[in-house]
Amino acid sequence: MNAVTPFADALPLAGNAPPPPPRSGAAIRFEALSKRFAAKAGAAEVTALDAVTLDVAPGSITGIIGRSGAGKSTLLRTINGLDRPTDGRVLVDGIDVGLLDPAGLRALRREIGMIFQHFALLSSRTVFGNIALPLELAGTPRAEIARRVDELIDLVGLADKRGRYPAELSGGQKQRVGIARALATRPRVLLSDEATSALDPETTQSILALLKHINALTGVTVVLITHEMYVIKEICDSVAVIEAGRIIETGDVYDVFARPRSETTRSFVASVTGAALPEAFAARLTPQPKGALQTVLRIVFTGDNATAPVISRLSRSLDVDITVIAGQVDAIGGRPFGNLTVAVPARQDVVQAVVALVNSYGLQAEVLGHVA
């Protein structure tokens, strides 16, 4: 098997040749992928991934979200061969990563850039030197290295930091260096390992905007792992939710936000969409309506009626008092989306009428509980 050929064009052109045109991102497919790690003597094997099947579209930004220990980092590392599958396959543009020989893996890794949570910069190298490192290791001519690094420094907005060392940079600036380094060999896949979790909210926003810009500019396939649904909401096209090594939910980001199927996904979504109830109020909810004065409902706003004055329509049409408890209207992928939690009189006829009218507008209503 010739393991090098599929990735042979990964390096930039040498000399004074013009830069190559943008290259399309690679497709990635996980097929019944499992990964088990040997445990200490007397202990059972640890299953990090359990029969994962997932497709990542070329040129997309796909987010993999899960709590600590869910298996998301292991899944990411199978893409560049840092972790080999125990069972199943991971394919990058049809190439089985698990079958590549050492030369093939080296070529593959020039096609796959990686951004790390804690930057992984060399303290003894300047911004220029850190970005240049992958090109130096690949034997790229010096003139081409200089041209490519300067191009990347401009792209990530660090033109005035070219000769600075990591100790002289802020966290956001360090991550920009890490992003530029990951792009040095013009990869077709960019992996992001919790790239914003060590940054403050404002810096996180700027890094996410940069990643989205890079994706639009180059067509690179971005796969990011995170435990923050905000990151998914901001830049991802699709999302996969992983729990205990299994993919429990996948889909278009808007659809997953609008109709989360699993309890884990609902918990993640609630953290950023206004669906989470205030703690003091949530503690008063009971599942049974007996003796309750109010019934609490969540209304999910999507589609053409996402910004319609539904609450005022409900109140006028049904002649009932509606109390707004919590809510938020936002945009996901440029499409309006909102959650509103309301309380209505705890009468079965009123609740049924509210739900029916909400549904007639093409929206969703869910009874959360009752308050005495």
The per-residue pLDDT for range 61-100, each reduced to its tens digit, is 999 999 999 999 999 999 999 999 999 999 999 999 999 9
Confidence of residue 58 (pLDDT cuts 50, 70, 90): very high
Q: Helix, strand or coil for residue 329?
A: strand
pLDDT of residue 281: 78
228 and 334 co-located in one domain: no
pLDDT tens per residue, range 114-141: 999 899 999 999 999 999 999 999 899 9
Which residues, 6+ apart, have CB-to-CB distance to 144 below 8 Å? 12, 13, 14, 15, 135
Write down the mean pLDDT value for the chain.
Answer: 88
**pLDDT over 70, % of the chain:** 92
Overall domain count for the chain: 2
Mean of the pLDDT values across residues 271-282? Answer: 76
Question: Which of these ranges, 1-5, 42-46, 110-114, 191-195, has the smallest mean pLDDT?
Answer: 1-5
223 and 351 co-located in one domain: no
pTM of the model: 0.84
Which residues, 6+ apart, have CB-to-CB distance to 364 below 8 Å? 258, 259, 299, 300, 302, 358
216 and 301 co-located in one domain: no
* Residue 337 contacts residue 330 (beta carbons within 8 Å): yes
3-state secondary structure 59-126: CCEEEEECCCCCCHHHHHHHHCCCCCCCEEEEEECCEEHHHCCHHHHHHHHHCEEEECCCCCCCCCCC
**Which of 230, 253, 270 corresponds to the end of one domain?**
270
pLDDT of 8 higher than 70 = no
pLDDT of residue 308: 74
291 and 307 co-located in one domain: yes
Structural domain containing residue 253: 5-270
Half-sphere exposure of 351 (CA within 13 A, CB side): 18
pLDDT of residue 30: 97
241 and 305 co-located in one domain: no
CATH of the domain at 35: 3.40.50.300
Provide DSSP, 208-224: HHHHHHHHHHH--EEEE
23 and 143 co-located in one domain: yes
Mean of the pLDDT values across residues 312-334? Answer: 85
126 and 246 co-located in one domain: yes
118 and 193 co-located in one domain: yes
pLDDT of 227 higher than 70 = yes
pLDDT tens per residue, range 243-273: 999 999 999 999 998 889 999 998 888 878 7
Confidence of residue 3 (pLDDT cuts 50, 70, 90): very low
Could you tell me how far CA 42 lies from the centroid of its own chain? Answer: 37
pLDDT of 274 higher than 80 = no
pLDDT of 17 higher than 70 = no
E-strand stretches of the chain: 28-37, 46-56, 61-65, 87-92, 95-96, 112-115, 189-193, 221-226, 238-243, 246-252, 285-286, 294-301, 323-332, 335-345, 364-371
E-strand stretches of 112-220: 112-115, 189-193
pLDDT of residue 361: 84
pLDDT of residue 18: 47
d(CA 296, CA 369): 5
pLDDT of 2 higher than 50 = no
**Which of 224, 243, 270 corresponds to the end of one domain?**
270
- Residue with the bigger pLDDT between 44 and 360: it is 360
Tokens of 253: 């980001």
- Residue with the bigger pLDDT between 276 and 153: it is 153
pLDDT of residue 22: 52
pLDDT of residue 221: 97
342 and 260 co-located in one domain: no
* Residue 210 contacts residue 158 (beta carbons within 8 Å): no
pLDDT tens per residue, range 164-223: 999 999 999 999 999 999 999 999 999 999 999 888 999 999 999 999 999 999 999 999
CATH of the domain at 361: 3.30.70.260
**Which of 214, 16, 213, 15 is CA-nearest to residue 113?**
214
